[in-house]
Amino acid sequence: MSRFEDPAIITCAISGVIANKEQCPAIPYTPEEYAAEARRIVDEGGSMIHIHARKPDGTPSYEAAEFRSITEAILSAVDDVVINYSTGAVGVPVEKRIAYLRELRPEVAALNMGSMNYAKYSRRRKDFVFQAVFENSFETIITFVRAMTELGIRPEHEC
């Protein structure tokens, strides 16, 4: 892990998984856009970049290829930054989410510490756009802990 003079770690999740460019034009989709956002973050004092990978068209990705391209672009733009991969997903098998950790071995990855109701409500429609349970059972948490321990990845506990 990088050594910082200031022990505070400021983490920025620069894309999220739900929002899009129509809602916020600054959300990065391409590796180059992620790198530019990371540069701005580090220039302002950020020290950890939390990555929700996306394909260049903006759709979420859980593939190692997208995580690799984004990570390489960020590390070519900034040098003393910690890369942190999201592992959360609704409907994506645990083993698929561990596969990109196993292949790329980031310094840090998210460890989601419990389940939650996850939804987006539209006031205009007066209905939910989507609603789901973001499942993180004890079995899922333990599976991620074991994989991260085996791979030498530090968990970021998301509560």
The CATH number of residue 38's host domain is: 3.20.20.70
User: Within a domain: residue 145?
Assistant: no
How confident is the model over 94-121, as pLDDT tens digits?
999 999 999 999 999 999 999 999 898 9
Q: Is 34 left (phi over 0), alpha (psi -120 to 50) or beta?
A: alpha
pLDDT tens digits, one per residue of 19-47: 899 989 999 999 999 999 999 999 999 99
Nearest CA to 1 among 159, 157, 143, 156?
Answer: 156
Confidence grade of residue 3 (pLDDT, cut at 50, 70, 90) = low
Q: Could you tell me if residue 41 is inside a domain? A: yes
Residue 94: inside a domain: yes
Domain coverage including residue 28: 11-111
Residue 60: DSSP 8-state = B
Residue 144 lies in a domain: no
Domain count, the chain: 1
In a domain, 128, yes or no: no
- Please tell me whether the overall predicted TM-score, pTM, comes out greater than 0.85 for this model: yes
